[in-house]
Structure 1
Amino acid sequence: MNLNMKLTRAFYISLLSVCGLLLIAQVTDGKYMDGFDESVIAFITGLHSELMTKVMLLFTAIGNGGMVVVVSLVALFLLYKLGTSRMELLLFMAVVISSGLFNYLLKNVFQRMRPDFNPLVHADGFSFPSGHSMSAFALYGVLGFLAWLKVENRKVRTLILTICILMVLSIGTSRIYLGVHYPSDVVGGFLGGASLLALAVWYHQQKRTAA
């Protein structure tokens, strides 16, 4: 019963994440979402400094497509060395690749224009949801999940999970700081990544139970 409840919980988290993403998409032009975006933007832009800009440029570069490929390949190698099964390696690849495809689909469905408040970098394409945020949540989320399963030392596992969380938050924040995404874009990206990650966890646990 307890295991079935956990499996059901992972599935519902995935479903709720998708619902949350769709809800945000429907209210992006409403006064409440505008107020949220403006408040967060005002706070983050208030942190502007030469050093902070360099830090945010670094994190946004780490979240670029090319770096996601590099990090994914390095992670696959390390996971393989840790004895990760073929199914889990394929699961890792599926989550990372599907996040890019899912984001592309959503951007072209909602077609939200990017903010125009003096961006510090150039960005093409539509704004919602943030691709950097979605791919970061998917990549570092599934990496943290698999590392948690394979790394036996509790302190090391906690350190890995903490680093993964910080990477996700830093990459998402960098997109707002640099002026190429609204905060609601970033939240939408996180929810999109969370839906894929939760679905992957549900699938993985089902397979382990059936084995």
Structure 2
Amino acid sequence: MCPASSDKMKKEFVQAGGVQMKNNKKRAGAALAASALFILLALFYDSARLQAFDKFLSEWLEGAAFLKGFSYLGNPSTIALICSVVVVMLLINRSPRDAMFIVLAVGLGYAVNEGLKEWFARPRPDMPGQLESYSFPSGHAQMGFLYVSSIGMVAMRRLRSGFWRKAVPAAAGILIAGIGVSRIVLGRHYATDVLAGWAAGTAFLLLLVILFSFWNRGRLQS
């Protein structure tokens, strides 16, 4: 390799590292904001104001029965099936890093959610036939966010069409919102559970993205 070509590659690497560092600072700030929201919800979900908020939103969504179907997209069996298919496709296409990203986002994210539920031990809303597991944070909201977002991120790196680069985030946002809100409509969760699930999922995923960005940079340096 000629010196000029080597110098150009080094310059491009330094520039890419600068952009990556700037992006990671933004991600870290967003992760801290999401963590702060989660902590506030965890500390005050029993307060009169947040209980009133939960009641208001639950009553307001009573007529939104059409959203109930979104709940199936957040079931553990559905998530496992979809993620398994995507991971196998990525491995066939020799993209083990992206496959590992999805596996860690969903697998570790599930463990985090179960740990948080046991820690806070918040009972679910009182209703006939209610589930026996704890309520805070919502597993459907957190896991729905994690699997849809992680798959969406992997897809976005492969898309070049301007239409699809706009359509994928929009579709992901609708799915994430629908899965979370459906749990309120069904009476399985309070609104604060759903917000906490989204906040926890956001913080966890952004931290994972930051860790993977450093791993990728290390591979480029070697």
Q: TM-score, normalization: structure 1? A: 0.88
Runs of 4+ with deviation above 3 angstroms: 77-81
The equivalent position to 2:145 in structure 1, one of 132, 137, 142, is 137
Equivalent position amino acid for 2:63 in 1? G
Matched residue, 1:99: 109
The equivalent position to 1:88 in structure 2, one of 98, 115, 135, is 98
Matched residue, 1:46: 63
The Cα of 1:145 is off from its aligned counterpart by 1.1
User: 5+ residue gaps in structure 1?
Assistant: none
The Cα of 1:89 is off from its aligned counterpart by 1.3
Could you tell me whether the CA contact under 8 Å between 1:7 and 1:206 is conserved in 2? no
Identity %: 24
1:80 to 1:156, Cα distance in 2 relative to 1, 3 A:
farther
Could you tell me whether the CA contact under 8 Å between 2:124 and 2:130 is conserved in 1? no
Matched residue, 2:54: 37
Aligned residues: 202
User: 5+ residue gaps in structure 2?
Assistant: 1-17
The Cα of 1:190 is off from its aligned counterpart by 0.4
Between the aligned partners of 1:13 and 1:35, the Cα distance in structure 2 is 27
Between the aligned partners of 2:186 and 2:108, the Cα distance in structure 1 is 26
Between the aligned partners of 1:79 and 1:33, the Cα distance in structure 2 is 42
Equivalent position amino acid for 1:66 in 2? S
Q: TM-score, normalization: structure 2? A: 0.84
Between the aligned partners of 1:199 and 1:176, the Cα distance in structure 2 is 28
Bigger-Rg structure (1/2): 2
Residues 121-151 of structure 1 show CA distances to partners (whole Å, capped at 9, x for unaligned) of 6422100000011000110011111111122
Equivalent position amino acid for 2:86 in 1? A
Matched residue, 1:26: 43
Could you tell me whether the CA contact under 8 Å between 1:147 and 1:157 is conserved in 2? no
The Cα of 1:208 is off from its aligned counterpart by 3.1
Matched residue, 1:169: 177
The Cα of 1:158 is off from its aligned counterpart by 2.1
Question: SS state of the match for residue 74, structure 1?
Answer: helix
